[in-house]
Structure 1
Amino acid sequence: MLLKNRTTLLAGTALAGAILFSAPAAQAQLSTPAASPKSTVQQRVGLTDVTITYSRPSAKGRTVFGTLVPFGRRWRTGANQTTTIKFSDEVTVEGKKVPAGEYGIYTIPNKTEWLVVLNKDTKRGADVENFKDDQDVARFSIKPYKVPSKVETFTINFTDITPATANVDMQWELTGAKFKVTSDVEPKVMAQIDEKVVKNANPSANDLAAAAVYYFDNNKDQKQALEWIQKANANDPKFWNVHTEAKIRMKMKDYKGAVTSAEQSRKLALDAKNADYVKMNEDLIVEAKKVGKL
């Protein structure tokens, strides 16, 4: 009986030891910082969301283009996995129509020109030798430029942003290269204006004002813009909307009307303690009186 109990005790001790020594294998692996950390940048271009995901290698004293990234060879445009770009709607990239979707950005840098390829394959990574050209959705050439100061870590940003365009700007070490993304805003906005303002028997003040601003900003029918903004201001004038009316009248060369609207907007802005709009209205009044010789 004693021998049996001792055997059971030894077996239990051995089992506990096995569990103890095997425990680290069940734990999570050691986590350390990535040499080329992953990054995501996003920008709304017009009404389209553009998202770029890429890994960011650093120069670390090396010459990048022509050495670390050889000229004339396809590059995944970053490190680790292929850099990707995703469009929520159809866009135009350097004059090429690109459907909504996610694509790999592959580049072939050269000293005086880069070839940029958007391809359906987003998983190619470092294996660019077996690249399939029939998966291309767009390819175009861009000119590299010298950056004003050294960029240690590969960086992609959105620059030169307008209501309908943005540049995708890639910089590393002393070199930059960028390409333009254009969102087809006009038909989308005009369709909304038609639905919410033109065909709506009782459009909201916000929609009327938004339509007027769009017409003003894009040099469309200013008489129509004035009609809409006047309706928006009829019952509950806001200082920013009345200022829009003043700008529309200014563009229409109705300088007396511009002064009247700007004075009303200035008073509303003073009541709201908004110094920026007070100043903008005062500047507009001075300009209208000067140009209109009032």
Structure 2
Amino acid sequence: MTMKSILRLLAMVATTSAVFAACNSKNQETTQDKQATTLAAVEVPENTAALQDTIKGSIPSVATGKIGEANLKLTYHAPGVKGRTIWGGLVAYDQVWVTGAHMATTLETDKAIVIGGKEIPAGKYALFTIPGREEWTLIINKNYKQHLADNYDQKDDLVRIQVKPTTLEQHQERLKYEINSKSSTEGVINISWDKLGITAPVKTAS
């Protein structure tokens, strides 16, 4: 091979290397751009409270609390509003409502308590309501093993009290029960959903 041929070959190699290096650099930039775009697309929003409740169905839930010496427990399924009309829509007025979903909402207490002037012995009970436009009826019933209110019978009621619904300051997406102590012998059961709430006073039995 002549010197001229050798120089020509070296020139071709140098040109090919330069072209390869340029293409590799461009490919790296393209990959980096794609990665940056992907990361931006999956960025978690700072305000997680703004995320919508996307859970389907009603969530098994429990509320516990102590009023005086009595330990109370409420077990229920919490449905969501999901943009639906709740009062007078999904929940009919003037009909016994399980005040939850699926099985009857249950109230358990390990000590005797008083609701509506009626003493309720330690035990497990069903809690129902009858929502009204102006007033609700809260019911404690002996038969807690029920699907919805299918087998509800008024003769098994231990307590019926009238309570006034109030407008909530904030929207409550999921049905929520709370047991709150107010003093050494008194407290309340709060039920809230959508834009309404009701409160039932509870005392310890003397």
Please report the TM-score for the alignment, with normalisation by the length of structure 1. Answer: 0.50
Q: Does 1:151 align with 2:151?
A: no
1:70 to 83, 89, 92: 92
2:114 to 72, 75, 92: 92
State the aligned residue count: 152
**Please, what is the CA RMSD of the aligned residues?**
1.5
Cα distance in structure 2, aligned partners of 1:131 and 1:82? 10
How far did residue 125 of structure 1 move? Answer: 2.1
Cα distance in structure 2, aligned partners of 1:69 and 1:140? 19
Paired residues of 2:114 and 2:202 also in contact (CA < 8 A) = yes
> Deviation string for 1:110-162 (max 9, x for gaps)?
0111111111111222243x422221111111111100111111011123522
Question: 2:201: which partner in 1?
Answer: 180
Look up the SS of the partner of 1:51 in the other structure.
Answer: strand
Q: Does 1:169 align with 2:174?
A: no
Q: Spell out the pairing of 1:12-91 with structure 2 (5 A cutoff).
A: 35-91=57-113
Cα distance in structure 2, aligned partners of 1:37 and 1:102? 21
- The structure that is strand-richer by fraction is 2
Paired residues of 2:67 and 2:181 also in contact (CA < 8 A) = no
Q: Spell out the pairing of 1:262-277 with structure 2 (5 A cutoff).
A: none
The one-letter amino acid paired with 1:150 is H
How far did residue 67 of structure 1 move? Answer: 0.8
Cα distance in structure 2, aligned partners of 1:126 and 1:160? 28
How far did residue 166 of structure 1 move? Answer: 1.3
Of structures 1 and 2, the larger Rg is shown by 2
Please report the TM-score for the alignment, with normalisation by the length of structure 2. Answer: 0.70
Cα distance in structure 2, aligned partners of 1:171 and 1:65? 12
Cα distance in structure 2, aligned partners of 1:144 and 1:127? 21
How far did residue 38 of structure 1 move? Answer: 0.7
The one-letter amino acid paired with 1:49 is N
Question: 1:207: which partner in 2?
Answer: none
Paired residues of 2:72 and 2:179 also in contact (CA < 8 A) = no
Q: Percent identity?
A: 28
How far did residue 163 of structure 1 move? Answer: 1.4
- The structure that is helix-richer by fraction is 1
Look up the SS of the partner of 1:134 in the other structure.
Answer: helix
> Deviation string for 1:21-48 (max 9, x for gaps)?
xxxxxxxxxxxx7621111111111111
Q: Any stretches of 5+ residues in structure 2 without a counterpart?
A: 1-54
Q: Spell out the pairing of 1:197-208 with structure 2 (5 A cutoff).
A: none
Cα distance in structure 1, aligned partners of 2:97 and 2:171? 21
Paired residues of 2:93 and 2:131 also in contact (CA < 8 A) = yes
How far did residue 176 of structure 1 move? Answer: 0.3
Question: 2:152: which partner in 1?
Answer: 131
Look up the SS of the partner of 1:97 in the other structure.
Answer: strand
